[in-house]
Structure 1
Amino acid sequence: MHDQVKAVLFDFGLVLSGPANVVVWDEMKRELAMDEATFHPSYWQFRDEYDRGTLNGTEYWNAVAGRKLQDAEVAELKRLDTELWTDMNEPMVAWAERLQKAGVKTGILSNIGDAMEDGIRGKLAWVAEFTHAVWSHQLKMRKPEPEIYAVAVKGLGVPAEQILFVDDREENIRGAEAAGMLGIVYKNHAAFLAEMERRDFLDLWGA
């Protein structure tokens, strides 16, 4: 086991999970009777506020739709949103499990809204096996704000310099490094493993 790393901190979207499910994306458009040109910008326009907890799930979907939705419509959109982002990145999920079995602390640090957290926890029982999880909406802040990394470090109970953070966004990794952590940007699995080898972390991958 690599002596330098005592905990691995994972982003959820596009690290533990894979890309958005395009079939579900189309279902969401049909549910809202919106075309791609309208739905795509609306979905992302309010996402930062949702992840920050400024908007809850119901408020977010009303904002995306541009109208007050019925409760049943909101419930279905929340369900679909969970499905959209829970096609898992199996090699990374399996790595987290190996780390846990080897006694290495694992954490999640994700920019995510309240209904998404509920959906993920309800669907993916293995999320409870992580040592600590930081969901941005709970703190009313987002990566790469410095304070959110401090919460993750405290929750893991490991010095920042002994935590490896994996995230798909460069700015979030820079934020983690500024907080004292090690960091690797996850773009695809082959590139990730190559970087793990370059950093002499492959023994950690084997866990």
Structure 2
Amino acid sequence: MTIKAVVFDFGGVYTGSPFTGVHGWHVERGLDPAVGLRAVFGPYDQDTDHPWHRLERGEVAIAAAAEQIKAVAAEEGLDIDLFDLLSSMGGGGGVRQDVIDLTLGLRSRGYRTALITNNVAEFADGWRAMIPVDDLFEFVVDSSQVGMRKPDPRIFQMALDQLGVAADEAVFLDDARGNVEAARALGMHAILVDDDHLPALDELQRLLDAEGPAPT
């Protein structure tokens, strides 16, 4: 079946992975990054009641989540200030202009485009200012606005329904393996984006070429 839509994640796709900065934050302080990441973000390939997951679903404000995460980290013997840690995430090394250009090219060729992002309500103005959102996507599915977060299959289905395409007519790109696996389980084509993002872009192009001409 011909691919009609390409759906993107934000952090780790249009920017470098924000988790790279978080890893470095732990290393600089002599903390175990694996333990710290688990305490702060929970099992990221699952959707749970961890404070960060509730934050991304818009169920709690960031100040409340910071206090709850501090308590979770303390159980692991860590003293973590969420706001200090978040300052290390930044833009993940800046915006990837080649991904922006690729997305604009897809739209000009007739592909439908959308963004599914696990995000925080208080971050909306900041990340949206980094890329030309309205030029790139027909719509954005922001976890903090819709009350669902990846890898919940419902958030992918919401995007497919708004695009008006079947799962096997869409490609999804994300830097989190659990999200990629969830999209595949729903029937979508899915591509994992690594720190070196160029192979993922090549894989996307090969997939589009193999599936036939762009929609008109």
- Alignment-derived partner of residue 72 in structure 1: none
2-structure distance, mates of 1:54, 1:38: 29
Aligned: 1:8 with 2:6: yes
Say if 1:86 and 1:120, in contact at 8 Å, map to a contact too: no
1-structure distance, mates of 2:156, 2:95: 24
Deviates more, 1:175-184 or 1:39-48: 39-48
Whichever residue aligns with residue 56 of structure 1, its letter is A
TM alignment of 1:116-195, pairs within 5 A: 116-121=123-128, 123-124=129-130, 126-129=132-135, 130-187=137-194, 188-195=196-203
Aligned: 1:37 with 2:35: no
C-alpha displacement of 1:16: 1.5
C-alpha displacement of 1:65: 5.8
Aligned: 1:57 with 2:23: no
Do the aligned partners of residues 60 and 128 (structure 1) sit closer, same or farther apart at CA in structure 2, a change above 3 Å counting?
Answer: farther
1-structure distance, mates of 2:14, 2:213: 17
C-alpha displacement of 1:50: 1.7
1-structure distance, mates of 2:176, 2:21: 25
Aligned: 1:201 with 2:209: yes
What TM-score does the superposition give when structure 1 sets the normalisation length?
0.71
Say if 2:55 and 2:62, in contact at 8 Å, map to a contact too: yes
For residues 66-89 of structure 1, give each alpha carbon's deviation from its aligned partner in whole angstroms, at most 9, with x where no partner exists: 6xxxxxxxxx87994783447112
Whichever residue aligns with residue 7 of structure 1, its letter is A
Whichever residue aligns with residue 105 of structure 1, its letter is R
Unmatched 5+ residue regions in structure 2? 43-50, 72-82
2-structure distance, mates of 1:23, 1:150: 31
Whichever residue aligns with residue 89 of structure 1, its letter is R
Do the aligned partners of residues 104 and 195 (structure 1) sit closer, same or farther apart at CA in structure 2, a change above 3 Å counting?
Answer: closer
Do the aligned partners of residues 14 and 159 (structure 1) sit closer, same or farther apart at CA in structure 2, a change above 3 Å counting?
Answer: same
Give the count of matched residue pairs. 189
For residues 108-158 of structure 1, give each alpha carbon's deviation from its aligned partner in whole angstroms, at most 9, with x where no partner exists: 11111111223212x235112211111112222211111111111112222
Do the aligned partners of residues 161 and 93 (structure 1) sit closer, same or farther apart at CA in structure 2, a change above 3 Å counting?
Answer: same
For residues 156-181 of structure 1, give each alpha carbon's deviation from its aligned partner in whole angstroms, at most 9, with x where no partner exists: 22222211111112221221122221
Whichever residue aligns with residue 13 of structure 2, its letter is V
Match of 1:20 among 8, 18, 21: 18
Deviates more, 1:175-184 or 1:37-46: 37-46
- Alignment-derived partner of residue 71 in structure 1: none
Kindly report the root-mean-square deviation, in angstroms, between the aligned alpha carbons of the 2 structures: 3.6
Say if 1:107 and 1:131, in contact at 8 Å, map to a contact too: yes
SS at match of 1:12: coil
What TM-score does the superposition give when structure 2 sets the normalisation length?
0.69
2-structure distance, mates of 1:78, 1:37: 12
1-structure distance, mates of 2:190, 2:161: 17
Whichever residue aligns with residue 127 of structure 1, its letter is V
Match of 1:87 among 86, 94, 110: 94
Say if 1:173 and 1:185, in contact at 8 Å, map to a contact too: yes
